Amino acid sequence: MKANDQEVKVYPAYIAGEWRFSESQETIAITSPWKADVIGRVQALTQDEVDQSIAASKAAQRVWADLSLGERGDYLNQWASELEKDKEAIATAVMNEVGKNYNDAEKEVTRTVDLIRYTVQEALHMHGESVRGDGFPGGSKDKLGIIERVPLGVVLAIAPFNYPVNLAASKIAPALMAGNGVIFKPATQGSISGIKMIGALDRTGLPAGLLSLITGRGSVIGDYLTEHPGINMISFTGSTKTGKHLSQKSIMIPLVLELGGKDPAIVCEDADLDLTTQNIVSGAFSYSGQRCTAVKRVLVDDKVADQLVAQLKPAVEALAVGSPVDDSTVVPLIDEKAADFVQGLIDDALAKGATLITGNQRQGNLLAPTLLDNVTEDMDVAWIEPFGPVLPIIRVQTTDAAIAIANKSNFGLQASVFTQDIDKALEIANAVEVGTVQVNGRPERGPDNFPFLGVKSSGMGTQGVHNSILSMSREKLTVMNLR
């Protein structure tokens, strides 16, 4: 059925404990990337509504922080159960809004349920420590330091479009368990999914005002949020451009940034090419490459490059391309502008002499998975994150050359190394400047109990359940001067 304006649902925002339409009387149309229809409208909140939300969160946070960990955990476990009940509706919203295929959207919700429950357990098992002063020269045993973790206050959680549920919950759950209030700013394209997941949280009876959901364009409301004196910590996932902007705007508050990547798959002469092919193809092309940890370049030893390309070509051509409702792997990109950007990278590479192995066809924002061989360092696709289904292959003569090209990138999220030689794997893992190295596997963010971080322009600080709780709390020292 084609939606028209009468049928389009207008979603309220969740401000200071109430579902409300904005005083601005302005809404933002959310267009599906694959239905090419407006699927809903969300509120463009005002600065005054941001102020109200932050003030309410600050007030509610003090009471929340006084609850026991177990009581806070009960709310979160109930949230997980509510999300589970709503799995189908939320997965459908994700599919419609950001074009993720239904299976993957459903997996995202399940992963989120698991993440919330794990976060509760992790927080329950974390504890402070005590220290005696006599460990320091001249210090006294009579000084007993009690070190506890306390909340930071109000956490601003900003999520990107590509995992609108999981990347939101991976900030909200640890923030709440650590005793904070939360201001959640979803990606505009991702707001409907965000509203549905917060609907599930609201049904737990969470104290009014503790969390608000701020919809509105980041370019309009983002700076006001970031610079707001009521915000005590920012956890951001998104592009490097926005992350850098944010780090210039925020003043003296802790910041965790998870940003873009250009993850290389380094393929050595002795790699198991079946395993390598399988990992590179799923790593590069699932959800059309719209993943921070997608394989975004292959650095292959020239001695096995022909064989690898011969195996990659049919595997890429076998990928299901089309609608997310048919569970396609390669789906329409988030919008036309994103598709133009990827096309520009392909055109630049071909004009400079890259070899087209397969792909380079386009229908609107649906791009065929594209494999480019003989990519050289003068081509933009060698360095820029496409966030789309194009994979450049750069042939190298030595492992050292692969490491040098890997490290020449401004990004440093993850890298994969394919080799059957454990010593070589460790040597390369040691040399590449990234947050995580995957040996004989594709780059990926999970499992969520692992630390997750990027270096250089890929980020600052560490996520992963344990580290997220740490980053959203601080140490507080009480010294007992005995006697």
Which residues are annotated as catalytic? Answer: 258, 292
> Which CB sits closer to ligand NAP, 155 or 268?
155
CA distance 436 to 452: 7
Q: Which of 22, 61, 96, 226 binds ligand NAP (CB under 6 A)?
A: 226
The vertex-414 CA angle with 464 and 110, nearest 5°, equals 40
Sign of CA dihedral 383, 386, 388, 390: negative
Does residue 72 contact residue 177 with C-beta atoms inside 8 Å? yes
Residue 389 neighbours by CB under 8 Å, 6+ apart: 284, 285, 288, 289, 330, 342, 359, 367, 368, 369, 370
Residue 124 has phi, psi (to 5 degrees) of -65, -30
Residue 50 binds ligand NAP (CB under 6 A): no
Three-state SS across 337-387?
A: HHHHHHHHHHHHHHHCCCEEEECCCEECCEECCEEEECCCCCCHHHCCCCC
Residue 410 binds ligand NAP (CB under 6 A): no
Q: Which of 151, 199, 261, 324 binds ligand NAP (CB under 6 A)?
A: 261
Residue 218 binds ligand NAP (CB under 6 A): yes
Residue 276 binds ligand NAP (CB under 6 A): no
Residue 316 binds ligand NAP (CB under 6 A): no
Q: Which of 97, 106, 202, 258 binds ligand NAP (CB under 6 A)?
A: 258
> Which CB sits closer to ligand NAP, 102 or 387?
387
Question: Quick one: which segment of 4-12, 53-61, 231-239, 266-274 binds ligand NAP (CB under 6 A)?
Answer: 231-239
Q: Which of 182, 187, 349, 425 binds ligand NAP (CB under 6 A)?
A: 187
Report DSSP state, residue 9: P
> Which CB sits closer to ligand NAP, 62 or 244?
244
Q: Which of 72, 117, 185, 262 binds ligand NAP (CB under 6 A)?
A: 185
Q: Tell me, by CB under 6 A, how many residues bind ligand NAP.
A: 30
Site for ligand NAP in 106-135 (CB under 6 A): none
> Which CB sits closer to ligand NAP, 217 or 408?
217
Could you tell me which of 43, 161, 31, 171 has the C-alpha nearest to residue 112?
A: 171
Residue 242 binds ligand NAP (CB under 6 A): yes
Residue 54 binds ligand NAP (CB under 6 A): no
Question: Quick one: which segment of 199-207, 215-223, 376-384, 419-427 binds ligand NAP (CB under 6 A)?
Answer: 215-223
Site for ligand NAP in 131-170 (CB under 6 A): 158-162
Neighbours of 250 (CB within 10 A): 20
> Which CB sits closer to ligand NAP, 221 or 315?
221
Q: Which of 24, 81, 239, 407 binds ligand NAP (CB under 6 A)?
A: 239
Question: Quick one: which segment of 181-189, 201-209, 354-362, 365-373 binds ligand NAP (CB under 6 A)?
Answer: 181-189
In angstroms, what is the minimal distance from the CB of 178 to ligand NAP? 20
Tokens of 62: 């003090």
Site for ligand NAP in 71-100 (CB under 6 A): none
Site string (422-461) toward ligand NAP, x via CB under 6 A: --------------------------------x----x--
Query: Residue 431, SS3?
Result: helix
H/E element holding 483?
none
> Which CB sits closer to ligand NAP, 81 or 462?
462
Does residue 175 contact residue 155 with C-beta atoms inside 8 Å? yes
> Which CB sits closer to ligand NAP, 289 or 359?
289
Does residue 52 contact residue 16 with C-beta atoms inside 8 Å? yes
In angstroms, what is the minimal distance from the CB of 310 to ligand NAP? 30
In angstroms, what is the minimal distance from the CB of 158 to ligand NAP? 5
Q: Which of 61, 166, 188, 343 binds ligand NAP (CB under 6 A)?
A: 188
CA distance 388 to 339: 7
Does residue 216 contact residue 49 with C-beta atoms inside 8 Å? no
Residue 352 binds ligand NAP (CB under 6 A): no
- Please state the separation of Cα 294 from the chain's center in Å: 12
CA distance 226 to 52: 15
> Which CB sits closer to ligand NAP, 292 or 354?
292
Residue 412 binds ligand NAP (CB under 6 A): no
Does residue 100 contact residue 164 with C-beta atoms inside 8 Å? no
Residue 387 binds ligand NAP (CB under 6 A): yes
Residue 219 binds ligand NAP (CB under 6 A): yes
- Helical spans, DSSP H, in 230-298: 240-249, 273-285
CA distances from 227 to 18, 156, 182, 242, 474 (A): 24, 11, 15, 14, 21
> Which CB sits closer to ligand NAP, 256 or 316?
256
Three-state SS across 49-67?
A: HHHHHHHHHHHHHHHHHHC
Residue 419 binds ligand NAP (CB under 6 A): no
Report DSSP state, residue 214: -
Residue 191 has phi, psi (to 5 degrees) of -70, -35
Q: Which residues bind ligand NAP (CB under 6 A)?
A: 158-162, 185, 187-188, 217-219, 222-223, 226, 237-239, 242, 245-246, 258-261, 292, 385, 387, 413, 454, 459
